[in-house]
Structure formats: C-alpha cells, structure tokens
Copies of this chain bind each other. A is one copy, B any other.
Amino acid sequence: MSGQNFSKKRQMILDTIKSSHTHPSAKWVYDTLKEQVPDLSLGTVYRNINLFKEQGLVVAVANVDGEERIDGDTSAHAHFVCKECGKVFDIPEDIITIRSESCPMEGFSTESAVLTYFGKCNFCTHNANIKEA
C-alpha cells in the first residue's frame, strides 16, 4: 500500500466525510457513497470511521437519535444540534479558545473537548411560526 495507507474506498469515505457539511452518520456516508460505489458495505464504512477517529482525522461531535455524528473538520469549534430536525450545525464563533485554555482538573490529561448546544434551529423555529400563523 506504499506510503499512504489508503485504499481507494477508504479515500472516498474520507473525502465524502471531509467534503460534507452535514456532520454525517455512518449510515449517511454509506447511503451517499453507495450511489457512486454500488459495491460498498456498511461494515467498511464503520471500520474506516473508527480508523479515522483513532488517527484523529475525524471527530465524534454528537449522538443524535442514537446515531453517532462525526465531523471531518477537526479544528476546535462548537456545534448546535437541533432537537427537532436532528441537523448539526457548526458554530463559527470562537468560544473554544476560552475553554481550551482551562485545564479541567489536576492529574487529568485532556485530549479533546466537545461543546454542544441543543435547541431548535433557525429553520424549525420558522416552520413553527408558519404553522401557528
């Protein structure tokens, strides 16, 4: 496998994750890629996502309705999870500098941190207003 230890499918899985802005689940990656790559199996997607997580190429950002959602953007940023539609949004605002400064507890070594807001997103709030009107 020469230098880069990436098979064709592995690379496509990573590309799909990195180029998506949906903070996808394994199933989403599978369904999306399946169109291009008909002989793809869900197990492979799971195996590769686990690999990417170990390698730090991908981060688990939330568990929405029982599905783990991942982010190919590993730069420090927070997320907003809509309880209504289940979408996960990036929060561009940089609250993260504040929290990464803070060392949580003596003797505990922090590797990563996740800051997630839960609530109702822009679109779902708007929809609710339309219904009420």
Residue interface mask A59-98, B partner, CB < 8 A = 1: 0000100001000000000101011000001010101001
State which residues 24-69 of A face B: CB under 8 Å.
63, 68
Is chain A's interface secondary structure helix, strand, loop, or mixed overall?
strand
| A104 CB contact (under 8 Å) in B93, B107, B110, B111 | B93
* Nearest B-chain residue to A101, judged by Cβ: B95
* Nearest B-chain residue to A103, judged by Cβ: B93
CA distance A131 to B3 in the complex (A): 34
A112 engages B104 (CB within 8 Å): no
Residues on B with C-beta less than 8 A from A99 are: 95, 98-99, 115
A119 engages B115 (CB within 8 Å): no
Interface positions of A (Cβ within 8 A of B): 63, 68, 78, 80, 82-83, 89, 91, 93, 95, 98-99, 102, 104-122, 125-126
